[in-house]
Structure 1
């Protein structure tokens, strides 16, 4: 066995993987249009296809080892693929009306098929997401099996292997439950839409437009990074992917302008993470939220607009204050927005189309397919953006590959959701959280935020949201928070792990591009992403989640949130228009807390104090400018 043998084997498997990925995209589009397959058939087929692709694209033993070891690893991968195909065939062809199943449960062959899928799903999770999620799922399974040996307050019935497999595999409650249903349906289609945006050049258009709009202002590349991430982040499905995509361009430009390396990385990470809460798509979590709450996605989209704008406004404010502190200017040369729009206006049409259709409550899956068609048609309408057949298939392949971690994570998250439902541990966790917090909403929010950061160290955002929503939302609703507001709070807090030390994945990815310290980048990202903590607090304590007939409360909540953001920014950065005296910073901190109480008079006094300090600071800045000119 020589190196040429290894290369031949690798090349053949890469080709097979590409064909399998393209075929998966075709299958998903066909199912989205026809909906011919029922859930007990479609979901196992989707997951098996995904698992096969994972074992094809992420080998057990990577190249670099000896030829014999590498080929042995690939043989194990192929055996796993064969086992997946065999087990999935048994699951898909299972007869739920069989009288023997109804009387005696699963046969040994059915149990073996289910165990194969569960074990290999966990292995695929290890390869795509990491070991932490595998450990969490394994702990939940262990609780389901051995829960009867635990103390009474946390004990469960204790289920047999047959009962575990029957619940998690041969039903739509566990692995093939709601999380995988969302990943296999609407999320896959929108990830495919995002892949087409990239291969057609639409992604570059949004980045160019952002630089045209914001590049000439103080700290221009940083502000352009925020705008570009807002435009692309919700469609990419991953904060890390967004960081790498836009950061490759924006981080070097920020460093060239004068930002420190860790500041440039932090700005990009905070902005890219914010893309996950920006309509119209908001990553995968919002679609899971619609499934869990039963609330139409169009309603979730509408109530998310104002909080998302507030978040990016908060990030832009910190970026501006940082630029002022460093004495940075804007870019000397930027392309005129009219020129950028002239070349790429047609890429706006698909986004406008999918936003309109989602607001009109059309099926998200069909809206996503329509968006894919629209972006391809739009690209073909202009000579300079037309794509070849090979680029089209590249988009089909990339869409499937990008969806792999999401589907695998959602399948494994289904284990957690299934165990919670099967054992009833969710109610026990709610009681524990209420006891630990003393029944105070402040305490519950703090504990959920800590749990979100800890879970996010090893879980993707969507998986962290699924686990937290199952365990923590009942605690919030028990304290009077509305169902949608509770899910939105958990959804937002689940994003924080990307920017919160000690493990901030988006910040670490940005640090790699900026060639700087990951921890310093994470600290900067955490400071810039304060909106992820401020805005959920306002969701809990004010009317920031819009409700019909509550327009006045909603407007007041927006004003108070803006005041809170300005107060915290001035206090932390030590300046607004110019440097703030220590007394003003302390007063801003007090005013910030005044925004959080339920007494209108205190709110008004705090808001008035913020306005006065801001106006006095602007006046002081103008006086400084006059004195500087006189000296000159």
Structure 2
């Protein structure tokens, strides 16, 4: 892990390069649109922003004031998110300034056929609902149910194909095919809402109707296309494999074999609360959107910028200062915004250039930011969205989960901090000049800006519901903004509601796709078969079964946002681990940790790739570097597997002991990886430190004493108090 020749840069050279004081204002709160994200102007912009604000306001009203029937609420959540997503995100990246292409006959013909089919289905749904609203007739005309399904699926498929084949040339207006996809979403979801009560009885059963199947197929196509646009191909491929597995089971060997399902049974089943409307969407439609909107409130009131300013003031002047700022700031921001890659873009736009200035190579700067940002997902009390999903799946109270997450989060960030600090020592990196940093004293006079987080924590432990806690924190952010120049009036409130919806669209699509996978697992029973496989492996070694689970969790999470990665991995792996006799809390934390780590694990490391784009470094080298920097964090789940006292499940004496042991083990592992232990060390001492650290995974007295003895011996050797001859005589 070598650095550039800039590692010995002086403070005076930095002052010359950094002519202006570092004061974070709007940079951390700026939106960074994706290449295929549209930027609407004028009337279109106001119309779309109004639709987004209405989408957000709908959720806040239902959660706090006007409860809605569960299926209807979740379907409106999914349908609204998909429709807005198609209007905001194009099928491909759009390069501004491209000349307008001539619309070919094939282009126009495909569009017209798609439009005819989708609009026919939309008219059928309008008749369905109009018949009920205007005449009170529950049963629609016969032609509606028998003829709308096939045009809906065909039109949806052709509109998707049109987006793939014919690229848009402007990003400031709605695409014609994308409008059709939004209309198809409304039609398909409208059908399921209308027949929701009947579907609760007949979905997945022989009495399911053909129209149920066609509406479900359209919804699955729409979800997968939305995920492709907003989250990439990885989750689409995984979901596609699971859907194919539902039909290919009779021809597969071993534990993968099952009897197979008819399309009508499978697709009608997949749109129920066993599939798309299951736990991931249950969480997405409540806790996730609530805290995403909370993040939007913090962004609009510039509280996020304040957090980063505090990190710069507290750690910017230390050796390797910007890297330490990245560790602190990314922890604060990452727990709120819910996405590792999004956090990299938000805070990395500030920290990565400064890390490069003090001597870090571009790929190392990007890797540090990626590792730190990923850790925000395990930082209580919000933990991105993972804590809410874990609470929903396990039934463990949310407060118990965030309390248990405290020590593992400290160990994770300690490991990244040790890596950064040891690297700075090894390559003689300086911090940023104090004169150019925000003044901590002045910032502490604005400490009231921490009030939204403190109110959230207080409300959680007082015993309010999570929704009430999030709402109170949101209101607190609005109130404290009146003590700053960024007062939240009607305009800022409207913009916060708009931003909240835009930030949540990706998570809606991702959670819906995760629901497809969860539905396949529940329908085919592959989860229970996988549990049997884990039990078979555990007959040889329980540790081997845990390592196998780690590999599966990381592979399932590659290229997927943490929320979906954890939901899928928990469905496949958690039952098996629990059957091994592992406590549910420990099993789920183990899986969640590695789902988070998948964001920095090559070859598909989303957080590292986002950092590489900012640092202009090689993505693959950056992902390998981020993996090495986060390597010490990979041992933390094994530590709480061997001793659940790290999850605060034991007495305080045991907790203090294992915490101290874990902290020492992580420091030794970091020193071995970096090659610095109170001075440069060679490969033999590095190997000794790594082996001693790995031995301390089991928090037993013997392994702790061995690790401590190795550390003390190498320390004395580095300080020239003990020589190699003395060590050799000791061996004799």
State the Cα deviation string for residues 556-600 of structure 1 (Å, max 9, x = none). Answer: 221221121121112122212222355533432332232134753
Q: CA deviation at 1:434?
A: 4.1
Q: Whole-Å Cα distance in 2 between the matches of residues 458 and 8 of structure 1?
A: 26
User: Which sections of structure 1, spanning at least 5 residues, go unmatched?
Assistant: 1-6, 624-632
State the Cα deviation string for residues 465-514 of structure 1 (Å, max 9, x = none). Answer: 11111111123223332110110010000111221222221111111111
Cα 1:237–1:595 change in 2 (3 A) is same
**8 Å Cα contact 1:14/1:56 also seen in 2:** no
What TM-score, normalized by structure 1, do the two folds share? 0.91
1:411-430 matches, cutoff 5 A: 411-430=512-531
1:495 alignment counterpart:
596
1:32 alignment counterpart:
63
Other structure's SS at 2:63 match: helix
1:159-178 matches, cutoff 5 A: 159-169=261-271, 171-178=272-279
Q: CA deviation at 1:450?
A: 2.3
Instruction: Tell me if 1:347 matches 2:449.
Output: yes
Q: CA deviation at 1:67?
A: 6.0
Other structure's SS at 2:644 match: coil
Instruction: Tell me if 1:281 matches 2:382.
Output: yes
Cα 1:543–1:153 change in 2 (3 A) is closer
2:533 alignment counterpart:
432
Structure 2 counterpart of 1:336, from 439, 443, 464: 439
1:4 alignment counterpart:
none
User: Which sections of structure 2, spanning at least 5 residues, go unmatched?
Assistant: 1-37, 112-162, 164-174, 724-732
**8 Å Cα contact 1:13/1:56 also seen in 2:** no
Instruction: Tell me if 1:119 matches 2:221.
Output: yes
Instruction: Tell me if 1:408 matches 2:509.
Output: yes
Q: CA deviation at 1:243?
A: 0.6
Instruction: Tell me if 1:306 matches 2:390.
Output: no
**8 Å Cα contact 2:415/2:633 also seen in 1:** no
Q: Whole-Å Cα distance in 2 between the matches of residues 375 and 256 of structure 1?
A: 34
Q: Whole-Å Cα distance in 1 between the matches of residues 340 and 605 of structure 2?
A: 11
State the Cα deviation string for residues 193-241 of structure 1 (Å, max 9, x = none). Answer: 1111112111111111001111121111111111111111100111111
2:131 alignment counterpart:
none
Q: Whole-Å Cα distance in 2 between the matches of residues 150 and 525 of structure 1?
A: 37
**8 Å Cα contact 1:87/1:113 also seen in 2:** yes
What TM-score, normalized by structure 2, do the two folds share? 0.79
Q: CA deviation at 1:538?
A: 0.5
Q: CA deviation at 1:12?
A: 5.6
1:210-609 matches, cutoff 5 A: 210-333=311-434, 334-342=437-445, 344-382=446-484, 384-435=485-536, 439-580=540-681, 582-597=683-698, 599-609=700-710
Structure 1 counterpart of 2:88, from 41, 49, 57: 57
Identify which range, 226-235 or 327-336, moves more after superposition: 327-336
Other structure's SS at 2:67 match: coil
**8 Å Cα contact 1:380/1:387 also seen in 2:** yes
Q: Whole-Å Cα distance in 2 between the matches of residues 195 and 285 of structure 1?
A: 19
**8 Å Cα contact 2:639/2:698 also seen in 1:** no
Identify which range, 434-443 or 141-150, moves more after superposition: 434-443
State the Cα deviation string for residues 167-188 of structure 1 (Å, max 9, x = none). Answer: 222x311101111010111100
Cα 1:77–1:478 change in 2 (3 A) is same
**8 Å Cα contact 1:495/1:532 also seen in 2:** no
**8 Å Cα contact 1:568/1:589 also seen in 2:** yes
Cα 1:310–1:120 change in 2 (3 A) is same
RMSD: 2.6
1:630 alignment counterpart:
none
Cα 1:488–1:587 change in 2 (3 A) is same
1:208 alignment counterpart:
309
**Larger-Rg structure:** 2
Q: CA deviation at 1:553?
A: 2.6
Q: Whole-Å Cα distance in 2 between the matches of residues 151 and 240 of structure 1?
A: 38
Q: Whole-Å Cα distance in 2 between the matches of residues 371 and 435 of structure 1?
A: 47
Q: CA deviation at 1:27?
A: 0.4
Query: How many residues were matched structurally?
Result: 613
Q: Whole-Å Cα distance in 1 between the matches of residues 40 and 489 of structure 2?
A: 28
1:3 alignment counterpart:
none
**8 Å Cα contact 2:570/2:588 also seen in 1:** yes
**8 Å Cα contact 1:125/1:133 also seen in 2:** yes
Q: Whole-Å Cα distance in 2 between the matches of residues 182 and 330 of structure 1?
A: 42
1:626 alignment counterpart:
none
Q: Whole-Å Cα distance in 1 between the matches of residues 656 and 509 of structure 2?
A: 41
Q: Whole-Å Cα distance in 2 between the matches of residues 35 and 148 of structure 1?
A: 47
Identify which range, 237-246 or 569-578, moves more after superposition: 569-578
**8 Å Cα contact 2:368/2:626 also seen in 1:** yes
Identify which range, 282-291 or 153-162, moves more after superposition: 153-162
Identify which range, 174-183 or 584-593, moves more after superposition: 584-593
Identify which range, 298-307 or 28-37, moves more after superposition: 28-37
Q: Whole-Å Cα distance in 2 between the matches of residues 121 and 321 of structure 1?
A: 45
1:45 alignment counterpart:
76
**8 Å Cα contact 2:559/2:606 also seen in 1:** no
**8 Å Cα contact 1:296/1:361 also seen in 2:** no
Identify which range, 498-507 or 579-588, moves more after superposition: 579-588
**8 Å Cα contact 2:661/2:696 also seen in 1:** yes
Cα 1:112–1:16 change in 2 (3 A) is farther
Cα 1:439–1:179 change in 2 (3 A) is farther
Q: Whole-Å Cα distance in 1 between the matches of residues 257 and 229 of structure 2?
A: 32
**8 Å Cα contact 1:298/1:360 also seen in 2:** no
Cα 1:126–1:352 change in 2 (3 A) is same
**8 Å Cα contact 2:374/2:607 also seen in 1:** yes
1:66-105 matches, cutoff 5 A: 66=101, 68=103, 72=111, 73=163, 74-94=175-195, 96=197, 105=207
Cα 1:615–1:270 change in 2 (3 A) is farther
